[in-house]
Amino acid sequence: MEEITWLDATGQADLVRSGKISARELVEHSISRIEKLDPEVNAFIHTSFDKARAVADRAPAGPFGGVPFAVKDLFQQSEGDPYHYGTRFLKELDWRAPADTWMVSKLRAAGFVLVGRTNTPEIGAWTTTEPDSYGPTRNPWDLRRSSGGSSGGSAVAVATGMVPAAHANDGGGSVRIPSSANGLVGLKPTRARVSLGPELGEAWAGMTHESAITRSIRDIAGILDVVGGMAPGDPYTAPTPKRPYVQEVGVPVGRLRVGIQVDHPNVALDPEVVAAVRSTATLLEELGHIVEEAHPAALDAPAAEAQVLMPVFQYLDIVRWGRAIGRELTSDDLDQDNWALGRYGRDVTAVAYLEGLYALHRWCRRVAAWWNHDDAGTDGGRGPGYDLLVTPTLPKLPAMLGELRPVPGQPLAGFLKSGEYVSFTSPFNATGQPAMSLPMHWSADGLPVGVQFVAAYGREDLLIRLGSVLEQARPWAGRHPGITG
């Protein structure tokens, strides 16, 4: 079973399909590891073991038939299971989901067996997973450190071998940040690649994207194949891929023009982070790619007017959940910073919101032009024609637990400090471009350090091709944290 623990979801599914192991045996192994390891790391906040056993006994079909899987307790709901959105008030009400979201339905149809739901910060608004409702999820590489956020629970569940893959979503880096902190693969797909239905058409002005955290490139490709695609009533969708993403694994990537970024105008970078990007750049050169220090100039001057957008959506969450539970939420229901952010959003006018949105759209066009290979670039100019941008995923090593929490009596101080950790990730939530974090480096103290790869809009295929090359050139599959049972 030790080999099965570290086998990816694709490999586990192959074993079930070949009859070498049953779905029930896989699920029991996952349950055993959760019961053994989770008390130390706090990745799972709800488990559904009896349901999982019943599903496994029915021998689920599909490309991932019988493989254990976890769902983050944010956005995606599973029928009858607790859904608390990282909050105390929903936990106290024992709020439960009335139905599956469409993504969860697709995961079930693919054969995944849902064993539980994973921890997330309150309303998903933090880059660390330390909600008042359920306490901190600890990084298994160093239990004193943050697991990242907001998909910290899912990342730790995968990193410790409790499940081979887990659901995650990303509104500013929430797939990529915990992937970096835990030595995993995290791909934020192109905007609208995965439907947010049935309740939502888009979230956070189109900046929130659904995906997964995995150990292998072939897993993220396969999961994207089963959950992607337009659903009825979606306001828009991502460009249709030319073929299934699993068919991109191992395909030659060609010679790429790559820009690397190893500085930031507002945040000092840890030397380990710089070393991670530079060593990756050297590897890319050795593989025959053209590598230059270059990045879109617009990244150094974000659209200040757009800062009003997120607080508006935080306030909308406060209003919507108040209606759902039948009373207005108060400052006693949320942590200090989320409440303050919502109060700020309440006072944003409709005109200020739209001005911020339009300013963001103009800025996004300037960023995206950097990838343009056509004669007529954005605003009539020629784009420089880069294929990839390579940056740090995080500007620093994972924070110590408590470091990014709200500071009593100083509203938003903790939130703003937490926000430093999205410096390289959040721009591509705004542009909607696919971006992937890969575990390309380990610090002198043995901490994983992710490197981010950003492609043009709709080009997940390029990221998957390159990722499969790097996975062979600098393997990470054999690296596991000390807390592994």
Q: How far apart are the first and last CA of the chain?
A: 12
46, 76 contact by CB (below 8 A): no
Cα dist. 155→81, 120, 424 in Å?
20, 11, 19
Whole-angstrom CA distances from 173 to 134, 185, 436 are: 22, 13, 10
- C-beta of residue 296 within 8 angstroms of C-beta of residue 467: no
Q: Is 146 a catalytic residue?
A: no
30, 147, 174, 180: the catalytic one is 174
Specify whether 20 is catalytic: no
Residue 120: exposed, middle, or buried by beta-carbon count in 10 A (0-12, 13-18, 19+)? Answer: buried
Known catalytic residue at 174: yes
**3-state SS string over the chain?**
CHHHHCCCHHHHHHHHHHCCCCHHHHHHHHHHHHHHHHHHHCCEEEECHHHHHHHHHCCCCCCCCCCEEEEECCCCCCCCCECCCCCHHHHHCCCECCCCCHHHHHHHHCCCEEEEEECCCHHHCCCCCCCCCCCCCECCCCCCEECCCCCHHHHHHHHCCCCCEEEEEECCCCCHHHHHHHCCEEEECCCCCECCCCCCCCCHHHCCEEEEEECCHHHHHHHHHHHCECCCCCCCCCCCCCCCHHHHCCCCCCCCEEEECCCCCCCCCCHHHHHHHHHHHHHHHHCCCEEEECCCHHHHCCCHHHHHHHHHHHHHHHHHHHHHHCCCCCCCCCCHHHHHHHHHHHCCCHHHHHHHHHHHHHHHHHHHHHHCCCCCCHHHCCCCCCCEEEEECCCCCCCECCCCCCECCECCHHHHHHHHHHCCCCHHHHHCCCEEEEEEEECCCCCEEEEEEECCCCCHHHHHHHHHHHHHHCCCCCCCCCCCC
Given 147, 150, 423, 468, which residue is catalytic? 150
Residue among 424, 173, 199, 451 at smallest CA distance from 310? 173
Residues labelled as active-site residues:
72, 150, 174
